[in-house]
């Protein structure tokens, strides 16, 4: 993997694609700067090496048209304060003025281009747009893991104009390296916890993980389709009746490959989907009609905690219950805390590809995990074993 340290940066215009798709409030202030903070190592390395940094990113979904509410100016302001230097801005994304602005940069200076999705050619992966963008840099770095699964002009197509002089940024390197730690055959026993609402959105990841982990915990709303497949009474719990065959085939495939599957044994069930609903603990195979399982039960939490203790490498994708709604956050929080505790004892823990990232943030556990992914959809596709265009483009142009 060619990274920043393998490329000459001094005195060169370093064109970097970041994923600065950050949430903004109504007054245009950034409400979560996680993706910006994650980019700082790449930015600092380039500037310290005397590179001339040209930043491109998208923000939101402007549908190929300029939009005042989706300008990258708030990102520029945040970065400028963080790195303590003034940053120039180009309203033009490509063309003579943008090229001129990039050529005016001196060593250690920064230029931010306007939201790249203001040009409709970005998302269509337009080759001429990619060529125009390529005129803004002498080397190209992709550090936008969150959009690595998109074949867009600035994330993938552009790399062909930087043969031998393109590389991965720090975020990309860490994401790829950490997933490889989970998918490789070293450092077992390996355990994956896959939860969340629906089996349908996790079929490929479950099938793919069976090839690389030793044990698989299936939990959250999607567990009910499996319990139903095994003959359980799940009351009104969320279930995809048309996926029961798939659930059975996943159980069979796991058995065939010697992968142990762990399912919840009890649940906290509620009369309604509301925080004021009447609740009770039930056996997961015997949930009465009119009740729905919305969180893992006490016995399940203890059982899963024991499984986690035996792991050396762990992937966590998807919550154990409706963690956004009290009193159903308990299972997700306790399991998060358990993973955090085991991480302190030497467990390698990767959180990514689902709402478990939001959960660890909610419970303030992000710092206690070995790695929390910055890319939701991209991480999910990566774990599914798909080749991501943003990664492939760098690999095939070196
Ligand atoms: P995902 O994006 O696939 O990780 O799914 C996350 C969503 O699954 C969250 O919004 C949770 O509220 C939801 N979820 C987890 N467990 C349950 C459950 N038992 N019933 C309904 N929804 C659930």
Statement: residue 232 has pLDDT above 80: yes
* 194: enclosing H helix or E strand: strand 190-194
- Please say whether the beta carbons of 87 and 110 come within 8 A: yes
Q: Each residue of 329-366: pLDDT tens digit?
A: 999 999 999 999 999 999 999 999 778 999 999 999 99
At 378, list the tokens: 């991209």
Which pLDDT score, from 0 to 100, does residue 374 have? 87
| Pocket residue to mutate for ligand 1, from 193, 195, 196, 325, most atoms within 8 A of Cβ | 196
Q: How far is CA 339 from CA 212, 216, 307, 360, 367, in A?
A: 20, 15, 11, 10, 12
Statement: residue 199 has pLDDT above 90: no
Q: Work out the percent of the chain whose per-residue pLDDT is above 70.
A: 100
Which pLDDT score, from 0 to 100, does residue 353 have? 78
pTM of the model: 0.92
Which pLDDT score, from 0 to 100, does residue 380 have? 87
Q: What are the residues facing 193 on neighbouring strands?
A: 217, 316
- Please say whether the beta carbons of 9 and 51 come within 8 A: yes
The C-alpha atoms of residue 380 and residue 152 are separated, in whole angstroms, by 18
**Complete domains list, the chain, with CATH:** 4-168 (3.40.50.1260), 175-383 (3.40.50.1260)
Does the active-site annotation cover 164? no
Catalytic residue, candidates 198, 207, 298, 312: 198
CA angle 20, 26, 30 (to 5 degrees): 30
Of 104, 156, 106, 150, nearest in space to 133 by CA = 156
SS3 245: helix
Give the distance (Å) from ligand 1 centre to CA of residue 267: 14
In SS3 terms, 60-115 reads as CCCCCCCCHHHCCHHHHHHHHHHHCCCCEEECCCCCHHHHHHHHCCCCCCEEEECC
Q: How far is CA 267 from CA 235, 277, 295, 367, in A?
A: 12, 15, 6, 29
Give the distance (Å) from ligand 1 centre to CA of residue 294: 9
In a 13 Å sphere around the CA of 236, the CA atoms on its Cβ side amount to: 9
Does the active-site annotation cover 198? yes
Find the residues whose C-beta lies inside 6 A of ligand 1.
Answer: 196-197, 201, 220-221, 238, 293-294, 318-319, 321-322, 324, 354-355
pLDDT band (50, 70, 90) for residue 227: very high
The chain-wide mean pLDDT, for the chain, equals 96
Which pLDDT score, from 0 to 100, does residue 279 have? 98
């Amino acid at each position: 993997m060619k990274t920043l340290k393998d490329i000459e940066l001094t005195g060169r215009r370093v064109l970097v694609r970041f994923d600065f798709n950050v949430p903004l409030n109504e007054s245009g202030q950034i409400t979560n700067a996680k993706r910006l903070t994650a980019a700082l190592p790449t930015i600092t390395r380039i500037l310290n090496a005397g590179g001339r940094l040209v930043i491109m990113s998208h923000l939101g979904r402007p549908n190929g048209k300029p939009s005042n509410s989706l300008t990258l100016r708030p990102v520029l302001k945040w970065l400028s304060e963080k790195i303590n230097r003034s940053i120039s801005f180009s309203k033009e994304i490509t063309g003579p003025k943008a090229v001129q602005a990039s050529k005016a940069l001196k060593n250690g200076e920064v230029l931010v281009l306007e939201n790249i999705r203001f040009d409709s050619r970005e998302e269509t992966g337009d080759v001429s747009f990619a060529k125009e963008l390529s005129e803004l840099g002498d080397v190209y770095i992709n550090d936008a893991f969150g959009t690595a699964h998109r074949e867009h002009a600035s994330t993938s197509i552009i790399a062909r104009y930087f043969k031998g002089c393109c590389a991965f940024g720090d975020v990309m390197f860490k994401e790829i390296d950490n997933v490889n730690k989970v998918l490789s055959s070293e450092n077992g026993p390996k355990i994956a916890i896959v939860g969340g609402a629906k089996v349908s959105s996790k079929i490929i990841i479950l099938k793919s993980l069976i090839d690389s982990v030793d044990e698989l915990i299936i939990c959250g709303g999607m567990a009910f389709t499996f319990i139903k497949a095994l003959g359980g009474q799940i009351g009104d719990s969320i279930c995809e009746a048309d996926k029961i065959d798939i659930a059975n085939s996943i159980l069979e495939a796991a058995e065939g490959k010697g992968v142990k599957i762990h399912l919840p044994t009890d649940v906290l069930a509620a009369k309604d989907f509301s925080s004021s609903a009447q609740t009770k603990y039930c056996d997961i195979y015997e949930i009465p009609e009119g009740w729905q399982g919305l969180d893992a039960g006490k016995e399940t939490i203890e059982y899963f905690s024991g499984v986690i203790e035996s792991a050396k490498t762990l992937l966590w994708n998807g919550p154990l219950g409706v963690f956004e709604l009290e009193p159903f956050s308990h299972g997700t929080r306790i399991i998060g805390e358990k993973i955090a505790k085991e991480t302190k004892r030497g467990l390698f823990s990767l959180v990514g590809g689902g709402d478990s990232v939001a959960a660890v943030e909610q419970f303030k556990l992000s710092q206690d995990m070995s790695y929390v992914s910055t890319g939701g959809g991209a991480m999910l596709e990566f774990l599914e074993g798909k080749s991501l265009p943003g990664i492939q483009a760098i690999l095939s142009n070196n």
